[in-house]
Amino acid sequence: MKKGLRLFSMLFVAIMTVLLISACSSGGEVSVGIVLPTKDEPRWVQDEERFKEALEDSDYTTEILFSQGSSAKEKENIETLINKGIDVLIVAPHDAGAAGAGVELAKEEGITVISYDRLITDTDAVDYYVTFDSIAVGEAQGQYLIDNAEGTGNPLYLYAGAASDNNAFLFFEGAWNVLQPKIADGTFVIANSSEAEALQDKAELTRDELGKILGQVTTEWDPNEAKNKAQTHLTAVGADLKGDVSILAPNDGTARSIADVFASDGEVTNYVVTGQDAEKASIQYVIDGKQSMTVFKDVRTLVEDAMGMAVDVLDGDTPETTGSYDNGSIDVKAKQTDVIVVDQENVQSELIDSGYYEADEFEGLD
Ligand code: GAL
């Protein structure tokens, strides 16, 4: 009798499990959809990995899709996720403005939209924004160049991200906040941008003015474009703008290719170059003395914040925010995370001892 009961209850559980699985797979199976800009940049592959780690024990089902640098693909991805019944959509847009069309479709379906790392602009279809302090990223890069420059007349090479990314403006604005007074007092001489030179006496730049400089020194976030620009710039200048130079590079991918170009110029005796993202390849560059610094943005925190918000929404709670960002259409409630400067001095403590990376992923760490 006891045996029969056990058999019955085992059968019951098995049947219920099958029913549950089939209910899950017939519509409504994905609760949170995540769309990231491209797999071609390690930064976003990092985010994918960290999302997967964070979701290992989650009760909610999620799906991550990449847009491969295409706004059309991004919209298609959003449509795919809408059709899978998502309740929350997390998007790091490829192009801030173009992403509006996709998230508006989601909004029409009552889906909560979270802008991830990059702000989606000029639409009211964004509910929340999780981000790092991007002005602080630029300020940290600029300050590093200041702290490592000696005397006056130091040639300063400026590079920026893609103008389709709102962050590129914020990074440059932050850098300009600290660099401009040091250009005005003669510490630095702008080497590669006539637009920046024309504006060098202005402490605060308008979006249009920033756009003019970005138009000249953008890397499009593309290491090849960064390399081509750096080569063109070094070919155009005379020996007076070489020697010991300072380079504002917006992120790690572009920093490595710009650094390689400057390193191979016989008239450049020393260069200080910034970066951002703590990509593994750049951590090796920092250890090897080929890249001076990177701004470490702990993606684990961003993922935690985004998923925390998503779960709050799914549970019917209101996510906690700490401020807001004007996206050109509305003020988007935001949660912001701080950043950390990493160079040879603290690479071990910040990235290895903290468990972010494993020591054996690098060579030459002491
Ligand atoms: C920015 C992002 C950076 C960097 C860059 C290029 O929006 O905040 O971390 O990766 O895009 O993808």
**Are 56 and 118 in a shared domain?**
yes
Write the pLDDT tens digit of every residue in 1-24: 345 555 545 544 444 444 444 344
Q: What is the whole-number distance in angstroms between the Cα of residue 331 and the centre of ligand 1?
A: 22
Please state whether beta strands 331-337 and 188-190 pair in parallel, antiparallel, or not at all (unpaired).
Answer: unpaired
Which residues span the domain enclosing 311? 31-126+299-336
Of 339, 315, 305, 350, residue with least CA distance to 51: 305
- Report how many domains make up the chain: 2
Cα 223 to ligand 1 centre (Å): 13
What pLDDT is attached to residue 6? 55
CA distance 309 to 317: 9
The answer to whether residues 85 and 178 belong to one domain is no
Q: Which residues line ligand 1 (CB under 6 A)?
A: 41, 43, 117-118, 161, 165, 167, 221, 251, 276-277
Residues 207 and 356 in one domain: yes
**Tens digits of residue pLDDT in 247-294:** 999 999 999 999 999 999 999 999 999 999 999 999 999 999 999 999
Same domain, 185 and 264: yes
Q: Is 269 helix (H, G, I), strand (E, B) or coil?
A: strand
Q: Tell me which amino acid residue 65 is.
A: L
Decide: 181 and 143 in contact? Cβ < 8 Å. Answer: no
Tell how far the Cα of 232 is from the centroid of ligand 1, in angstroms: 24
> Which residue owns the Cα nearest ligand 1 atom 1?
167
Q: Are residues 40 and 105 in the same domain?
A: yes
Residues 70 and 180 in one domain: no
* Ligand 1 atom nearest residue 166's Cα: 7
157 close to 191: Cβ distance less than 8 angstroms: yes
**Could you tell me the CATH number of the domain that includes residue 145?**
3.40.50.2300
Are 290 and 322 in a shared domain? no
Phi, psi of 131 (to 5 degrees): -155, 165
**113 alpha carbon – ligand 1 mean position (Å):** 20
